[in-house]
């Protein structure tokens, strides 16, 4: 049975950062304990710095409203997972403005290791002039995808624009093997199962499959049983996220140990 941790009760917005820290630290401790891992030194302060940086960027660019402490906490946990497991090749489906992508990239940057490949079908709000012809993507519209990603993180980012049904098989064939996959695109049950099954075949031994919005349908639980993987969930009000580790060798020990709190 998957381990799970619940979000605490609703807190006042003035305490949002404290709420994020409290929830993140509890969930991360549960994650570390579940898999017998240690956190790299200084991770707590770095996660906080990135959250402040991204919140400022959201407000400056006005790409959308900052989503609040729960989503911030979920992404800080995603950051922490990447810091701890140190993947070299990360693949995600679904980008939009690039909030989760930014946390993934921040972790890769702080690890000084790895590349993020992102698949997105269209900019936030869709194509302004209708779907472009194949091979004729308007650069000014493509630039809206991941617009919140800070410039200093983009050297580890490769964006692939197109439907996941086309781009995912092509990219998996090109990459051969990946270390971590994060689903955050079409949340229909059939599509989620298709992405999980497709990427699992290319996931390295000891690799990780992560998914957003696992409460939308049964796909995550169905797939966990299919592969007999080691599932783990961090749960709150929407969105929910889950992880499955593929059987493999022990995880590497971080260069330095420190507090497990994000």
Amino acid 126: pLDDT: 74
Higher pLDDT among residues 98 and 139, named by residue: 98
| d(C-alpha 260, C-alpha 30), whole Å | 9
pLDDT averaged over every residue in the chain: 83
* Nearest CA-CA partner of 251 in 9, 17, 83: 83
Any domain includes 6: no
- For 31-74, write each residue's pLDDT tens digit: 888 888 888 888 878 888 998 899 888 888 876 677 776 778 78
CA 132 to chain centre: 28
**Total domains in the fold of the chain:** 1
- Output the domain CATH number for residue 214: 3.40.50.150
Q: What is the DSSP string of the chain?
A: --B---------GGGHHHHHHHHHHHHHHHHHHHHT--EETTHHHHHHHHHHHHHHHHHHHTSS----HHHHHHHHHHHHHHHHH--SEEEEE--TT-HHHHHHHHHHHHHT--EEEEEESS-TT--TTSSPPTT---HHHHTTTTTTS-GGGGGGEEEEES-HHHHHHHHHHHH--EEEEEE-S---HHHHHHHHHHHHTTEEEEEEEEEE-TTSSSHHHHHHHHHT-EEEEE--SSP-EEEEEPS-SPPPPPSSEE-S--
Any domain includes 206: yes
Any domain includes 146: yes
Amino acid 262: pLDDT: 45
Any domain includes 75: yes
Any domain includes 1: no
Contact 189, 217 (CB under 8 A): yes
Amino acid 222: pLDDT: 95
pTM recorded for the entire structure = 0.86
Any domain includes 258: no
- For 197-222, write each residue's pLDDT tens digit: 999 999 999 999 999 999 999 999 99
Structural domain of 156: 15-126+140-248
Any domain includes 8: no
When pLDDT is averaged across residues 151-170 and rounded to a whole number, the result is: 95
Amino acid 257: pLDDT: 42
Amino acid 130: pLDDT: 66
Which residues are CB-neighbours of 179 under 8 A, at least 6 positions away? 85, 87, 88, 89, 90, 114, 203, 204, 207, 208
Any domain includes 262: no
């Amino acid at each position: 049975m998957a381990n799970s941790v619940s979000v605490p009760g609703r807190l006042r917005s003035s305490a949002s950062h404290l709420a994020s820290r409290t929830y993140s630290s509890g969930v991360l401790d549960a994650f570390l304990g579940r898999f017998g891992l240690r956190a790299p030194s200084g991770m707590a302060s770095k996660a906080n710095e990135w959250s402040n940086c991204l919140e400022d960027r959201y407000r400056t660019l006005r790409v959308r409203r900052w989503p609040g402490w729960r989503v911030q906490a979920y992404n800080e946990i995603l950051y922490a997972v990447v810091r701890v497991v140190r993947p070299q090749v990360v693949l995600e489906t679904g980008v939009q403005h690039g909030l989760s992508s930014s946390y993934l990239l921040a972790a890769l940057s702080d690890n000084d290791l790895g590349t993020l490949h992102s698949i997105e079908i269209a900019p936030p709000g869709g194509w302004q002039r209708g779907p472009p012809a194949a091979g004729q993507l308007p650069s000014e519209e493509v630039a809206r995808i991941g617009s919140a990603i800070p410039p200093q993180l983009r050297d580890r980012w490769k964006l692939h624009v197109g439907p996941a049904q086309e781009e995912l098989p092509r990219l998996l064939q090109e990459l051969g093997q990946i270390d971590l996959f994060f689903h955050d695109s079409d949340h229909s049950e059939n599509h989620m199962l298709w992405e999980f099954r497709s990427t699992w075949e290319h996931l390295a031994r000891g690799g990780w499959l992560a998914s957003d919005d696992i409460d939308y349908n049964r796909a995550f639980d169905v797939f966990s049983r299919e592969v007999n993987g080691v599932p783990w969930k961090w749960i709150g009000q929407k969105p929910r996220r889950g992880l499955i580790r593929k059987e493999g060798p022990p995880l590497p020990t971080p260069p330095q140990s420190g507090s497990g709190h994000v």
